[in-house]
Amino acid sequence: MKPVLFRYARPQNLADAVGLLAAADHDVKILAGGQSLVPMLNLRLVRPAVLIDLNGVPGLDHITPGPSGGLSIGALVRHAALAGSAAVIERAPLLAEAARHIGHPAIRHRGTLGGSLAHADPAAELPAALIAFGAELVLHGPRGARSIRAPEFFRGLMTTALAPDEILIEIHVPPQGPGWGFAEVVRRAGDFALAGVVALLGRPRGSSGDCESARLVGFGVGDRPVRFAGAEEILTSPGGDTSAGVARAASAAAEACDPPGDVHASADYRRHLAAVLSEKAVRQALTRLDAARPA
């Protein structure tokens, strides 16, 4: 299958990229990693008149540790770079873990963080991780730059807050604690998940008591990542981190989602997985929290 005829440009700076985007009055698509876009181009599911290749724009592929423990990550950072970056592994290991689960090495060499976020596949790992982090996304358009928090960025099925003339350029991840968990079910390693859950739990420094913070986000269980607020409340309540509490939180997570059904899994099964994987991710996070406590 071959794509429709399109015109291609490879701007050498961000201003030109934004200018090209604004100037295109037909369908225009931004090419980053291409691992999701090009199959759709080849299948003629996407039919742009203009393709803007962002890979020539400098400064979009940095991983910059923040002063207080967070990270600033350029949108063109490849999944392989995320997975292998010492700074990411140290400061946001959930992100590295999520990136490791994407496809296969050849996909990870090209696929980008920004591309995955802009594509907003509901079964993708990275959007859920960013929502769990409380990350901020920086969008750049003709009117300059603006920030938007991750949950507001994902609007619906493969729909984001990106305006037609905006480019996602940077992601800011706040400092993270050690209590993280990641669990997904796939048909084959590297496939899109049938369902998955990321968990971030925090306790007051040095304590072994109740969790003071919990972020539990499911992917593949809705038209966008689903924050399991009810489950989070249970986890941060007294006894939330006991077996019973975790099980109740898992049930709450399942009840909180309205998953899609498709050839790979029904809504019921995905809802069931939301519970199972919530429990698994939460237990991982608790284990890591315990391990990180000073002796």
Binding region for another protein (CB under 8 A): 1-11, 16, 19-20, 24, 31, 34-35, 38-39, 41-44, 50-53, 55, 80, 103-107, 109-110, 185, 187-192, 194, 263-266, 269, 272-273, 276
For residues 79 and 91, which CB has a smaller minimum distance to another protein in the complex?
Answer: 79
Q: Cβ of 288: how many Cβ atoms within 10 Å?
A: 17
CB of residue 128 vs another protein: minimum separation in angstroms?
18
For residues 104 and 205, which CB has a smaller minimum distance to another protein in the complex?
Answer: 104
CB of residue 237 vs another protein: minimum separation in angstroms?
24
CB of residue 16 vs another protein: minimum separation in angstroms?
5
> Which stretches of the chain are DSSP H helices?
14-23, 37-42, 79-84, 86-91, 93-100, 105-110, 113-119, 125-133, 150-153, 229-235, 243-256, 267-292
For residues 135 and 253, which CB has a smaller minimum distance to another protein in the complex?
Answer: 253
For residues 100 and 149, which CB has a smaller minimum distance to another protein in the complex?
Answer: 100
| Residue 278 contacts residue 197 (beta carbons within 8 Å) | yes
Query: Among 241, 237, 238, 234, which residue's Cα sits nearest to residue 255?
Result: 234
Q: What are 115's two structure tokens?
A: 């591309």
Question: Distance between CA 188 and CA 192 in Å, rounded?
Answer: 9
CB of residue 31 vs another protein: minimum separation in angstroms?
8
For residues 84 and 174, which CB has a smaller minimum distance to another protein in the complex?
Answer: 84
CB of residue 264 vs another protein: minimum separation in angstroms?
7
CB of residue 177 vs another protein: minimum separation in angstroms?
27
For residues 176 and 284, which CB has a smaller minimum distance to another protein in the complex?
Answer: 284
Q: What are 290's two structure tokens?
A: 């315990």
Cα 162 to Cα 116, 149, 166, distances in angstroms: 13, 12, 6
Q: DSSP characters for 241-268?
A: TSHHHHHHHHHHHHHH------SS--HH
